[in-house]
Amino acid sequence: MVCVPQLDEVLDGLHVVSLPMRVRFRGITVREVALIEGPVGWGEFGAFPEYEPPEAVFWLASAVEAAYRAPPAVRRDRIPINATVPAVVARQVPEVLSRFPGARTAKVKVAEPGQTLADDVVRVNAVRALVPTVRVDANGGWSVDEAAEAAAALTADGPLEYIEQPCATVPELAALRRRVDVAIAADESIRKADDPLRVVREHAADVAVLKVAPLGGVARILEIADQIDIPIVVSSALDSAVGIGRGLLAAAALPDLPYACGLGTGGLFVDDVGEPVEPVDGFLPVAPVTPDPARLAALAAASDRRRWWIDRIKACYPLMS
């Protein structure tokens, strides 16, 4: 964790915002986050509502790190990003991709509850017709047998760069990796695990997807990077512009960055706390984000929601060290 300021100091710099979304993503159409202004910059606490304090505290630590700790040195000033395609119908794919100008890679959500593998194939092929490199994300939604079937179906008409978190557990990922030719990426098996390095030790993944907030901050990302020998993709946890800025910083500080990062999710919001920065030739610039006061006011959450986030910070705060 990070050096912890006084709770009152954290709450004094608190802004809670509600960001309307263009399409349903992860089951929501409005994204709430708490932003913390500190002496170094702005941090974002956006743990999803279902996360209890023992898990949400890492997100709070990440926000405090951003607001109170000097950033690391960077190795690059722009980051390649992938387009993110939610589990939309195929006819919506061109509209979604239009929000990611120049992106040469797209991540497509699959295994959505209530949808079929046939729906996934149609969506992936619609993306493949417009973007040269396609990866998919199942969020642990398949069994090993289902994932093997999906891998065959989703590669019948073209390759996949990788399948992200096809199964929920590390043993399942390892078993699937032995059965399919497609690269396997781990996300939840890293960021929601007591031991985020287990996937590497058990040869369960070819790629590590790391998200700044769920892992506790940029410094923790860099620590993990020092301990693993597989490529890293830095991705968003449906962050506001503030959180995206931290993800870009982490990606910029990594020794190697062979893959496009999942940091283009700002295009999923109707409005954000900072002036939208569109990708140029598929890249986003690395720069800290200072929210616009007018946007903070316009996007401020209702008073009861602000109180909910304050209570949540108070519940997480004693767990920080």
How many C-beta atoms surround the C-beta of residue 55 within 10 A? 16
pLDDT at 219: 97
Q: What are phi and psi of 34, to 5 degrees?
A: -105, 125
Give the up-direction half-sphere exposure of residue 261: CA atoms within 13 A in the CB hemisphere: 32
* Cβ neighbourhood burial of 95 (10 Å; 0-12, 13-18, 19+): exposed
Question: Are the CB atoms for 10 and 203 separated by under 8 Å?
Answer: no
Taken in order 308, 247, 102, 274, is the CA torsion positive or negative?
Answer: positive
Binding site feature residues for Mg(2+): 137, 164, 187
Alpha-carbon distance of 316 to 288, in angstroms, equals: 25
The yes-or-no answer on residue 211 being catalytic is: yes
The secondary structure of the chain, three-state, reads CCCCCCHHHHHHCEEEEEEEEEEEECCEEEEEEEEEECCCCEEEECCCCCCCHHHHHHHHHHHHHHHHCCCCCCCCCEEEECEEECCCCHHHHHHHHCCCCCCCEEEEECCCCCCCHHHHHHHHHHHHCCCCEEEEECCCCCCHHHHHHHHHHHCCCCCCCCEECCCCCHHHHHHHHHHCCCCEEECHHHHCCCCCCHHHHCCCCCEEEEEHHHHCCHHHHHHHHHHCCCCEEEECCCCCHHHHHHHHHHHHHCCCCCCCEECCHHHHECCCCCCCCCCECCEEECCCCCCCHHHHHHCECCHHHHHHHHHHHHHHHHHCC
The yes-or-no answer on residue 109 being catalytic is yes
Q: Extract the annotated binding site.
A: 137, 164, 187
CA distance 316 to 261: 29
User: By C-alpha distance, which of 208, 253, 263, 223 is closest to 82?
Assistant: 263
**Residue 303 phi, psi (nearest 5):** -60, -35
Q: pLDDT tens per residue, the chain (321 residues)? A: 556 899 999 999 999 999 999 878 777 899 999 999 999 999 999 999 999 999 999 999 999 999 999 999 999 999 999 999 999 999 999 999 998 889 999 999 999 999 999 999 999 999 999 999 999 999 999 999 999 999 999 999 999 999 999 999 999 999 999 999 999 999 989 887 778 889 999 999 999 999 999 999 999 999 999 999 999 999 999 999 999 999 999 999 999 999 999 998 888 899 999 987 888 899 999 998 999 999 999 999 999 999 999 999 999 999 987
Amino acid at 224: I
Residue 253's nearest CA partner among 70, 120, 76 is 76
- Annotated catalytic residue within 107, 109, 192, 314: 109
